[in-house]
Structure 1
Amino acid sequence: MAVNNKFILVTGGARSGKSSFAERLGERYGERSGKPVVYIATSQIYDREMEDRVEEHRKRRPAGWETVESPYELAEAVKRLYELPVGAVLIDCITLWLSNLLLQNDGSGEERWSKPGTGRQLLAQAEQLAATLKSAPFPVIAVTNEVGHGIVPEYQLGRVYRDLAGRVNQLLAAQADDTYFVVCGIPVNLRQLALQQTGGLDEL
């Protein structure tokens, strides 16, 4: 896969170092191409804690990066960059995008997650997003969270979110050229690891 259209998925737990690793990848692609890196932020600031987290990320990013805020229309935000001189696109993060959609209010007073058929709709959106990132004419690095390693949430919204996040991550990983799992700041290339294990599976 050529560097000019590589799709990389970076996952890990909270404070695993995944965002820092993704930013280093973005900086490397930007330097190689001599073109600007576009950072697509999916977060929405509701309180001081989130404001502090966003500010921490802003300080860490190179000054020359362009930031685009897109909490809902993520595929469309990427497509708008197709014809522009872009060295790389970094999306942080997929799971915040998913939570934004789940909590979206359509004006009826109900959040989207509580309505029948929402899961299928969001998975369809994720499939569209995966295709968009795969076909982008520039490197795309998407950060997501691995949320299924803890206990089962005791409330329904938490369970819906956990299950959908796992399925969305699988859809994206299926299209990604490389998928990294970051643990304790150390990135592991899952695609390379899977290829190494193929022979063993054939023998089962």
Structure 2
Amino acid sequence: MEKSTLIFVTGGVRSGKSTFAEKYAQLRAKKKQGKLHYIACGQVIDEEMARRVQLHQIQRKTAEIPWITWEQPINIDTIAHNFSKKDTIVLDCLTTWLTNEWFLDEENEEKWEEPDFHHELFNKITSGISKITETCAELIIVSNELAHEDMTISSLNFYYAKTLGKLHQWIVKNASQAYSVENGIWIAMKKEVGSK
């Protein structure tokens, strides 16, 4: 069985990373002749988010290849059975998925400083990614680069950024490609062997 391709796309807020990931997924899906899926981790919590979601939905509806959208803010692994080895998937975005899992229940507010809590979240997310990659041709994961953001220093931010950083490192280690996007311009940070 052919091994799935894992691709990582990161950048600051409004850097163009989602647009890049969607366009790249369309190109790759065309070659695979499979379906194109979008796993939306975001939850609409305000008007700004509603506008952004609507814009992305319009972009996907007008795409050459139709998208199948999965609204899945947590427990990504539960939808893995819906994909085939020809399918290309965009997961947007890891940062939001981590946030959703982090604040899943009120008890987590007392646990987030404990190393076991971070370890469990890391394992849950990496396991979810692994389950998806077992069932599809390609998984493109979009994430925010927090180093580009103005963050208030607090222990919550520290532990969150530390966990996200570990996830980024794990994904890049396992990915065949990794891209950084700034101002709509992509930079290849890791490429497949033999690609130009």
Q: TM-score per shorter chain, which class?
A: 0.7 to 0.9
The aligned amino acid for 2:97 is: W
Q: Quick one: structure 1 residues 5 and 114, their matched pair in 2 at CA, closer, same or farther if it must change by over 3 Å?
A: closer
Q: Which position in structure 2 is the counterpart of 1:172?
A: 171
Q: Quick one: structure 1 residues 192 and 88, their matched pair in 2 at CA, closer, same or farther if it must change by over 3 Å?
A: closer
The alignment's TM-score, normalised by the length of structure 2, stands at: 0.84
Q: Is the 1:72–1:100 Cα contact (8 Å) retained in structure 2? A: yes
Higher-Rg structure is 1
Q: Which position in structure 2 is the counterpart of 1:153?
A: 152
Query: How many angstroms does 1:46 deviate by?
Result: 1.5
Q: Which position in structure 1 is the counterpart of 2:140?
A: 141
The aligned amino acid for 1:87 is: D
The aligned amino acid for 1:76 is: T
Q: Which position in structure 2 is the counterpart of 1:187?
A: 186
Q: Which position in structure 2 is the counterpart of 1:80?
A: 81
Aligned partners of 1:48, 1:89: CA distance in 2, in Å?
27
Aligned partners of 2:8, 2:158: CA distance in 1, in Å?
23
Map residues 1-204 of structure 1 onto 2, 5 A cutoff. Answer: 5-63=4-62, 64-77=66-79, 79-82=80-83, 84=84, 86-105=86-105, 111=109, 114=112, 116=114, 117-151=116-150, 153-192=152-191
The alignment's TM-score, normalised by the length of structure 1, stands at: 0.81
Query: How many angstroms does 1:178 deviate by?
Result: 0.5
Deviations 1:7-41 (A, max 9, x none): 11111111111111100111112222333201000
Q: Quick one: structure 1 residues 97 and 112, their matched pair in 2 at CA, closer, same or farther if it must change by over 3 Å?
A: farther
Q: Quick one: structure 1 residues 89 and 38, their matched pair in 2 at CA, closer, same or farther if it must change by over 3 Å?
A: same
The aligned amino acid for 1:68 is: W
Structure 2 portions without partners, runs of 5+: none
More strand by share: 2
Q: % of aligned pairs identical?
A: 27
Query: How many angstroms does 1:51 deviate by?
Result: 1.0
- For structure 1, which segment, 152-161 or 19-28, has the greater mean C-alpha deviation from structure 2 after superposition? 152-161
> How many equivalent pairs are there?
188
- For structure 1, which segment, 43-52 or 27-36, has the greater mean C-alpha deviation from structure 2 after superposition? 27-36
Q: Is the 2:146–2:161 Cα contact (8 Å) retained in structure 1? A: yes
Q: Quick one: structure 1 residues 54 and 124, their matched pair in 2 at CA, closer, same or farther if it must change by over 3 Å?
A: same
Query: How many angstroms does 1:57 deviate by?
Result: 1.1
